[in-house]
Chain A
Amino acid sequence: MSSAIIETNGLTRSYGDICALKPLDLLVPEGEWLSVMGHSGSGKSTLMNLVGGLDRPTSGTLRVGGEELLALNEDGLARFRREFVGIIFQQHHLVPYLTAVENVMMAQYFHSVPDEAEARHALERVGLGHRLKNRPGELSGGEQQRVCIARAIINSPKLLLGDEPTGNLDNKSTVMVMELLKELRAEERFTVIMVTHNQEVAAWGDRTIHLDDGVLVREDRLKVEGKAG
């Protein structure tokens, strides 16, 4: 593995009296697939939001891709998100009145210039070449998640964040989505942080960290032949 893409020192996040993430020191090498596990309220989504520039730490340092996120203002964080990060949500979060291709183009629009051909290609890569003009309401859960993946990778991010991306999918769709992510990672060489409470999904990663009540309690280096490759 090469140099660290994510580096935290004493990273904490509190909401009033509640400490969602207790001082955390973490290094994530560039290109790694890191799974983050824990039960509800363990701080895994909080960690993902901080790393993705969606939330601000209460204290500590947080360097992602060489940028100290605490030093960035709102617009700086927005630039960081559009240039560096791709995010896949559990509940897809697609704009309901835009078609699949328009949802992907929207991310291009905020990044630079929309390119419909490129957006179509991204959807074809995730197997939705035949669903370009469908709106989210006309797609299945698995298809919506694949649009979400196409949107997340369209700007060639260095870091792909998944917040329980298979949480709402059945087993068949889960495997399809994970295989797709594996293929895309092999092609694009991005780093993956995957939050999940599903052991099987976590097994697709190179390493798993376990959080409990905001504290990193365990770390497993996994290698499941034929899956996470």
Chain B
Amino acid sequence: MLFRILKNSFLKRPKAVFLVFLSIAMGAAVATAFLGIAGEVSHKMALELRSYGANILLEPSAAQGGGFLREEDLPKIKTVFWKYNITGFTPYLFGIAEFSAGGRKERGVVSGTWFAKQLEVPGEDISTQGIKGIAPWWEVKGRWPEDADEAIVGAALAKRLNVVPGSDVKSAVRGRIQQFRIVGVVTTGGYEEEQLFAPLVTVQSLLQRQGKVSRVLVSALTVPMDDFGKKDPATMTRDEYEKWYCTAYVTSVAKNVEEVMGGSRAKPIWQIASAEGALLKKLNSVMLLLTVLALGASATAVSTSLMASMAERSPEIALMKAVGADRYQIGTIFIGETLFISLAGGVIGFLIGDQLSELISRTVFNSTIASPLWLFPTAIISAFIVAIAGSVAPLRRALLIEPVRVLKG
């Protein structure tokens, strides 16, 4: 009988039913679209944020007496548990050198590094590692070094030495001399502008530190730090440690890298990690807020439509009460009607939202996304929530209808 009442009620009032259906479907569509792209947006934003610079610093551990890391260990970074989260890394070997060019002499830092090294790791895809990848904001006037005797020089040092791309600079370290052809002048906005950057192998030879590096900067995709992520792993239980290790916190990725780099100590670069974390958290909060606002707007629209419909249906409700319907039976009919519409609205809303998220992803990120499986039940539940929230006030009004006042005359 309930089904007959619902079916006939729908057929009798197609406009009112369609309005409620439309409100619910729109709410579910927007919720689906926002939640669908929220994960994708976070991932894409995290990738974009990697251009802020590295977020993990690897240095020789204190137990090593402040010595050096081994260059031969570097490929292991691409074999760790979180290897797919590591978007790039580059080693550095620093030394103090006497630079001379065109009669000018300056003391400064010579830095050996990888610019864009093709790294082959057995069992892994070939990757390109180096400064070009992890510091994309560096502006190079000229070009990046390609040969062993080519270098780029920081803008401040270049000014003092009065060198430009094409100039030669002699670097002297404890009696050993290496001549570099300057191929570019780099502007970074930081301390790097006081340095000369040359291929690692050349600087290792100049400094007599073959196979050694001073530090490694690692850029990794991480999740925002929460209270659990900030806990000291040394105080964790076994289960807690496993959960922490298997979550891509900057601390757990750093720990992961540290384990494969012999004699190293990995430290998060907090100003980068926390800025990224805060930004991603805000982004997620905005997406969630927009979703809640969209659902709220839908619930309001549902409520308004049902209120109008309720005024029209008050004789019907009064009659049901007069023949003995109690609050639960009246509630069952009206909630049943709304839930039935919301089920249809949820399904259609999901289909529209899925296409909407695809469109947003293509337009904003130039990529396609696959809706996760959980999104369908989420859309249906969102539709139910909208329906229930939108039904509260109209149902309250329905329950307050007094048959004797409505049916008299």
Contacts and interface: CB of A to CB of B under 8 A. Distances in A.
B285 interface: no
A108 B2 CA distance: 11
A105 B327 CA distance: 19
A184 interface: no
B4 A98 contact: yes
A155 B326 CA distance: 16
A76 to B, nearest CB: 9
Interface in B136-164: none
A54 interface: yes
A78 B12 contact: no
A63 interface: no
A97 B324 contact: no
B4 A78 contact: no
Nearest to A154: B323
Interface residues of B, number: 27
Contacts of B8: 97-98, 102
B12 A109 contact: no
Interface in B298-345: 315-316, 319-329
A21 B319 CA distance: 24
A93 interface: yes
Interface stretch (A26-34, A83-91, A208-216, A218-226): A83-91
A108 B407 contact: no
A111 B322 CA distance: 12
Contacts of A54: 322, 403-404
Given A91-B409, A110-B329, A96 B12 contact: yes
A114 interface: yes
A129 to B, nearest CB: 20
A134 B12 CA distance: 15
A110 B320 contact: yes
Contacts of A108: 1
A178 interface: no
A17 interface: no
Interface in A34-90: 45, 49, 54-55, 74-75, 78-79, 81-83, 85, 87, 89
A81 B12 contact: no
Contacts of A74: 326-327
Interface residues of A, number: 32
B9 interface: yes
Contacts of B329: 109-110
A149 interface: no
A83 B12 CA distance: 30
Contacts of B321: 78, 81
Given A55-B404, A97-B8, A105 B1 contact: yes
B370 interface: no
Contacts of B408: 45
Nearest to A87: B322
Nearest to A76: B326
B64 to A, nearest CB: 80
Nearest to B323: A107
Interface string B337-361: 0000000000000000000000000
Contacts of A155: 324
Contacts of B403: 54
Nearest to A55: B404
B319 A93 contact: yes
B142 to A, nearest CB: 81
Contact of A93 (B12, B315, B324): B315
Interface string B231-250: 00000000000000000000
A146 B75 CA distance: 91
A96 B325 CA distance: 18
Nearest to A119: B1
B11 interface: yes
A49 B1 contact: no
24 contacts: A54-B322, A54-B403, A75-B327, A75-B328, A78-B321, A78-B326, A78-B327, A82-B323, A83-B324, A87-B322, A87-B323, A89-B407, A93-B315, A95-B316, A96-B316, A102-B4, A102-B5, A106-B1, A108-B1, A109-B1, A109-B5, A109-B329, A114-B1, A155-B324
The 5 closest A-B pairs by CB, nearest first: A82-B324, A97-B12, A78-B326, A109-B1, A114-B1
